[in-house]
Structure 1
Amino acid sequence: MKKIILLLMFSTVIFSCKNSEEKNTETEETTVENVEKILAYKGDFINSDGAMVLMGPNFIYGVKRDLLSEGLAKQVEAVKKNDYDMVGVIVKGVVSKNTDKESEWDEEITIKEIMRVADKPSEVDIKLNETEKKN
């Protein structure tokens, strides 16, 4: 009789330990899913006609408006020479699907940290020559 009771107690301990391990695994998985991926992005920033855009070599993101992005816009404004100048920046942020119906961008970046703002505007890829019209 003692052996049966001992066997029941031993099996109860083993099953209860196994259940607690499964619960811990589930908790870790949900925690990992909720973590935002904050990455560094290097690109050209422009704030024109109310739209903020970060454009890199292989991406174009709309920039979510908040205090940090407004601060970046002010820093870039000090460097720009005209309204359509783009300024090189390095920022840390989170890219997500755009839920704003009015915005044209598929993805938007929420800036978490401004790492660097260039001293001068970026070089233009295509330069247009403007000539005066002669009557």
Structure 2
Amino acid sequence: MKKIILMLMLSAAVFSCKNSEEKNNETEEVTTENVDQIQTYKGDFINSEGALVLMGPNYIFGVKRDVVSDELSKKVAAVKVNDYDMVGVVVRGVVTKNTDKESDWEEEITIKEIMKVNEKPSEVDIKLNESEKKK
């Protein structure tokens, strides 16, 4: 008898809970339909001359400007030594086709969560050796 009552109470609790999500015009809420689209991306982030870019081992995305990308830019700026330094980050976001005609990026990432920002800039793949001019 106790098992039946426990099962009835448990099923009533489960069915009485409602997941009601409202969409706000200013911020896009995560719904059950686009949860699968949010993925984790690890790469180098750069904010140079107004362009926000996330570059990984096999992708390069333009980054959509919003509150989260502005926060990431501030965190990366605190780590950078010069304007062209790239900083390793781990973010979660949604990648979509870029509809902005003025942008050169085919795909754009909307960052939903900043998971990690490295404490120092990434190592440069190619270093240019500058030699002194001979007189």
Q: Matches of residues 17-28 of structure 1 in structure 2 within 5 Å?
A: none
Q: Which has the larger radius of gyration?
A: 1
With 92-101 and 125-134 compared, the bigger mean Cα shift is at 125-134
Q: 3-state DSSP class of the match of 1:35?
A: coil
Match of 1:65 in 2: 65
Task: Give % identity.
Answer: 72
**C-alpha distance in 2, partners of 1:114/1:122?**
17
Q: 3-state DSSP class of the match of 1:81?
A: coil
Match of 1:74 in 2: 74
**C-alpha distance in 2, partners of 1:74/1:132?**
36
Normalized per residue, the structure richer in helix is 1
Q: Does 1:40 align with 2:69?
A: no
**C-alpha distance in 2, partners of 1:50/1:98?**
17
**C-alpha distance in 2, partners of 1:40/1:65?**
18
With 54-63 and 122-131 compared, the bigger mean Cα shift is at 122-131
Q: 3-state DSSP class of the match of 1:75?
A: helix
Q: 3-state DSSP class of the match of 2:118?
A: strand
Normalising by structure 1, we get a TM-score of 0.73
Match of 2:25 in 1: none
CA deviations on 1:61-103 (whole Å, 9 max, x unpaired) are 0000001001100100000011110000000000000000000
Match of 1:24 in 2: none
Q: How many residues align?
A: 104
Match of 1:102 in 2: 102
How far does residue 130 in structure 1 lie from its aligned partner after superposition? 2.0
Q: 3-state DSSP class of the match of 2:110?
A: strand
Match of 2:130 in 1: 130
**C-alpha distance in 2, partners of 1:114/1:79?**
15
Q: Could you say what the CA RMSD is over the residues aligned between the two structures, in angstroms?
A: 1.5
AA aligned to 1:35 is N
Q: Matches of residues 78-97 of structure 1 in structure 2 within 5 Å?
A: 78-97=78-97
**C-alpha distance in 1, partners of 2:108/2:131?**
38
AA aligned to 2:72 is L
Q: 3-state DSSP class of the match of 1:129?
A: coil
